Amino acid sequence: MHITVMGTGYVGLVVGAGLADFGLMVTCVDINQEKIGLLKEGKVPIFEPGLEEIVRRNVERGRLCFSTDIKQAIRNCLVIFVAVGTDAGPDGIADLSQIWSAADQIAQSMEDYKIVVIKSSVPVGTTAGLEARMQQSLSGRNGHLDFDLISNPEFLREGSAIEDFFHPDRIIVGSRSERAAAIIKDIYRPLYLIETPFMFTTWESAELAKYAANAFLALKVSFVNELANLCDAVGANADVHVVARCLGLDRRIGGKFLHPGPGFGGYCFPKDTRALAQAARKVGEQFQTVEAAIEVNDRQFGRVVDKIEKGLGSLEDKAVAVLGLSFKPNTDDVRESRSLKICEALLAAKCKLRVFDPVAMAQARRVLNDAVTYCSDCYEAVTDCDAAVIATEWNEFRNLDLERVKQSMRGDLLVDAKNIFDPARAKCAGFRYYGTGRR
């Protein structure tokens, strides 16, 4: 079976390479010529552990190829997975322009029956809107052209996307056509064999399930962050990690997403929570819990900046090292990264910044430009700094030689936004240590 994946980003490339690994013939297309050019040269444009190997393997076996000829790729396949971006528009309403234009391209290019699978995260009602739009577009063309739409939201996490693709918690298939649902089931047959739960449902339930999952996880993050703020305020022996562990051991709650920090970032949580809240308001409902989670999150990175200011007395002309720039470890994605928000706030307060990230330096440079000094490792970054901030919990930071870090700095302030160090150990190395929600 021939498949086309429209959008070769964090989702499209993983899905395309994964489907090729299932033995299907996949063409990944993108409007970004530079991206496709790199992929054709055998270079993977994003950092995602394990992805390069799967891409290489499937290109070598002739099952995976890359193209900017979208029209041809649409004509050559039966199934089109749409994995284009759905950015946040004004007021947080999802900007669906990439989705509409992908649908237009499909309707204008197709010459026979197609199944269009929406992988992108979209607000409830979008798939129905796409059907109407494609029907209208096709009505202007000669002959009867048939298609089916499937809502098949993606749940992979950057940093563990390969594992998530091959071992997902569930596959959701929203469909109005039994024929199309059966073909999708067939595409995912390798996952059926490992007993992945499949949910066959309506377009609308599938669309909402995606936003609901992200919003619920965002609630957990904001909850634990407020808990950490409370622990900070009561001081003494309240430790957010102990409280979170006690919470997480309750099987009704679970221990995941109960790690305090500077707030959630990345491409998905910030925009999807906003889009869900706006979608609710559009139909006269207010999703208050989600709106509260967003509000808490918008303030949380400021707590880190406040701690640096408190520790240094004032921020003006102080030198601060920011370690970790990606929105989480194991990815080079800096979209909505809380670390960059911290950098921007420190720059606005006239700090001088020295920054380091194991893989996200090039991406961060596109945002921070020449406003900061880019360093080749943590030790270079902290040199002569008044304070150091851990903003992303890369594993390699956990084993830093704290004595060496301290000796390289001119100050003694360590703000550990992700609580990767043992406070006693940091104190032993000579630091004034500010964690998140623990002494």
Q: Which residues are catalytic?
A: 268
Q: Which of 4, 7, 21, 307 binds ligand NAD (CB under 6 A)?
A: 7
Q: Residue 86 or 297: which CB sits closer to ligand NAD?
A: 86
**Cβ contact 362:415 at 8 Å:** no
Could you give the residue ranges of the DSSP H alpha helices within 313-377?
Answer: 338-348, 361-368
**Site track 72-91 with ligand NAD (rule: CB under 6 A), x = hit:** -----------xxxx-----
Q: Which of 22, 26, 27, 35 binds ligand NAD (CB under 6 A)?
A: 35
User: Restricting to residues 94-123, which ones interact with ligand NAD according to CB under 6 A?
Assistant: 98, 101-102, 105, 119-121
Q: Residue 31 or 128: which CB sits closer to ligand NAD?
A: 31
Q: Is 363 in the site for ligand NAD (CB under 6 A)?
A: no
Give min distance, CB of 46 to ligand NAD, in A.
7
Distance (Å, rounded) from C-alpha 409 to C-alpha 396? 19
Q: Which of 31, 38, 78, 128 binds ligand NAD (CB under 6 A)?
A: 31
**Cβ contact 245:255 at 8 Å:** yes
Q: Is 16 in the site for ligand NAD (CB under 6 A)?
A: no
Which own/partner contact pairs does 432-436 have at CB distance under 8 Å and 24+ positions apart?
A: 432/311, 434/307, 434/310, 434/311, 436/225, 436/228, 436/232, 436/240, 436/260, 436/261, 436/262, 436/303, 436/304
Q: Residue 159 or 311: which CB sits closer to ligand NAD?
A: 159
Q: Is 269 in the site for ligand NAD (CB under 6 A)?
A: no
Structure-derived torsion over alpha carbons of residues 83, 87, 89, 93, reported in degrees to the nearest 10: 70
Q: Is 12 in the site for ligand NAD (CB under 6 A)?
A: yes
User: Restricting to residues 134-193, which ones interact with ligand NAD according to CB under 6 A?
Assistant: 154, 156, 158
Give min distance, CB of 105 to ligand NAD, in A.
6
Give min distance, CB of 207 to ligand NAD, in A.
11
Can you give 182-237 as a three-state secondary structure string? HHHHHHCHHHHHCCCCEEEECHHHHHHHHHHHHHHHHHHHHHHHHHHHHHHHHCCC
Could you give the residue ranges of the DSSP H alpha helices within 96-202?
Answer: 97-109, 126-139, 161-166, 178-187, 189-193
Q: Is 93 in the site for ligand NAD (CB under 6 A)?
A: no
Q: Residue 12 or 260: which CB sits closer to ligand NAD?
A: 12
Distance (Å, rounded) from C-alpha 76 to C-alpha 146? 15
Strand pairing partners for 258? none
**Cβ contact 401:428 at 8 Å:** no
Give min distance, CB of 259 to ligand NAD, in A.
18
Q: Residue 25 or 38: which CB sits closer to ligand NAD?
A: 38
Q: Residue 70 or 346: which CB sits closer to ligand NAD?
A: 70
**Cβ contact 78:3 at 8 Å:** yes
Give min distance, CB of 272 to ligand NAD, in A.
6
Give min distance, CB of 393 to ligand NAD, in A.
18
Q: Is 392 in the site for ligand NAD (CB under 6 A)?
A: no
> Is 32 exposed, middle or buried (CB count within 10 Å of its CB: 0-12, 13-18, 19+)?
middle
Residue with tokens 């000579």: 430
Residue with tokens 């599938």: 206
The residue with its CB nearest to ligand NAD is 9
Interacting residues with ligand NAD (CB under 6 A) = 6-12, 29-32, 35, 70, 83-86, 98, 101-102, 105, 119-121, 154, 156, 158, 267-268
